[in-house]
Amino acid sequence: MFAESFLTLASVLTFREARFSPAKLVTTQSLPVAHYVSGPLPPIKKDENSFGVQTTAHAAMVLDVASGEVLYEKDAETVYPIASLTKLITAMTLVDYKLNMEELITITKEDDPKEGRTVFAEGEQFTRGELLRALLIGSVNVAGNALARTSGGGPAFVVAMNARAQKLGMAQAHFSDPTGLDRQNQASAHDVAFALRTALGYPEIREITKTEKITLLEHRTNKPYVIKSTNLLLESFLNQDPYQIIAGKTGSLPEAGFCLAQATRNKAGREVIVVVLGSENHFARFQDAKALTYWTFQSFVWPEKGSKHQAALLVNTRP
């Protein structure tokens, strides 16, 4: 029944919503991602008449991690506010600084964004590593501001974030703060997909973002803070055999709608990234991402070297 519902959705999607642009792949596949072996074969669609699934998202994209091949896209080049998906860039920028993750950081009044739930109070102390975990697991905004402030200062850190984004090839991305609360933090689904692809090369980010819950102890009083993941799909079938979620981040703002970027692996070790921007509500983003992930694993085959699929691919791409 589950599979049938997805197949029904796939049959009603228009071709325009799943447009395919080979010219873009030359650029995106050239991005340096050291974690992966160069030259893997892209997956092949089993049925050329299967164009994807209907989503509520304004923009969406599916990317094969190993090859960089775009498997599905919907308005993927349009720039939108991305809310807390910003924190992926924040995390990579921080880790690149190679600072002491055991250093204690004291929360100050200026760290409180005065929007949403404060979580940590002024004067409380956590290590830099603990704040990074709070940032990525619970999307704690005060943690993002504290990390930026103690890593060269907030304004300089944002400059470094934008430089990091440009280095990743996120040509349309722009960041104004490290939390994503500023609606001027914007990027396309294409930008976000390749940002997450690069983030997968950071073991810390992979490990943290697939964690469902942690407990942090404030260092002066031992006050416990239970930080739960904002990614509800960690408790879904996509995180059970034969699938495994290997990284992900949520985001939401009134101007951004509800967003999610997630990487999922199947039993054969194939990894795909799904990005949805501007889904219509909190639960719709998870349903959109879940549907796209399931459709992708059901609709594509990954050829092995020397297989008949590889031979077919070589024939089809011969000039």
Cβ–Cβ under 8 Å, residues 126 and 222: no
Amino acid identity at 318 = R
Cβ–Cβ under 8 Å, residues 46 and 301: yes
Lowest mean pLDDT among 65-69, 115-119, 139-143: 115-119
Task: Tell me what pLDDT residue 253 has.
Answer: 95
Cβ–Cβ under 8 Å, residues 135 and 107: no
Catalytic residue list contains 84: yes
Catalytic residue list contains 67: no
Catalytic residue among 67, 74, 84, 229: 84
pLDDT tens digit sequence for 150-177: 999 999 999 999 999 999 999 899 999 9
Task: Tell me what pLDDT residue 18 has.
Answer: 36
Sign of the dihedral through C-alpha 187, 70, 28, 234: positive
Task: Tell me what pLDDT residue 114 has.
Answer: 78
Catalytic residue among 74, 87, 210, 290: 87
Q: Among residues of the chain, what percentage have pLDDT more than 90?
A: 77
Positions of CATH 3.40.710.10 in the chain: 84-187+202-228
Residue 308 banded pLDDT, cuts 50, 70, 90: low
Catalytic residue list contains 236: no
Lowest mean pLDDT among 24-38, 59-73, 259-273, 305-319: 24-38
Give the number of residues written for the chain: 319
Cβ–Cβ under 8 Å, residues 249 and 231: yes
Q: Give the separation between CA 89 and CA 202, rounded to whole angstroms.
A: 12
pLDDT value at 197 more than 50? yes
Domain 84-187+202-228 coded CATH 3.40.710.10: yes
Q: Read off the pTM.
A: 0.83
Q: Which residues contact 33 (CB under 8 A, 6 or more apart)?
A: 68, 197, 198, 200, 201
Q: Give the separation between CA 311 and CA 319, rounded to whole angstroms.
A: 15
Q: Which residues, listed in sequence order, are joined to residue 262 by a DSSP beta bridge? A: 248, 274
- Find, among 285, 263, 160, 274, the residue nearest to 206 by Cα: 263
Catalytic residue among 67, 74, 139, 279: 139
The mean per-residue pLDDT over the stretch 38-48 comes to 85
pLDDT value at 229 more than 50? yes
The mean per-residue pLDDT over the stretch 274-290 comes to 97
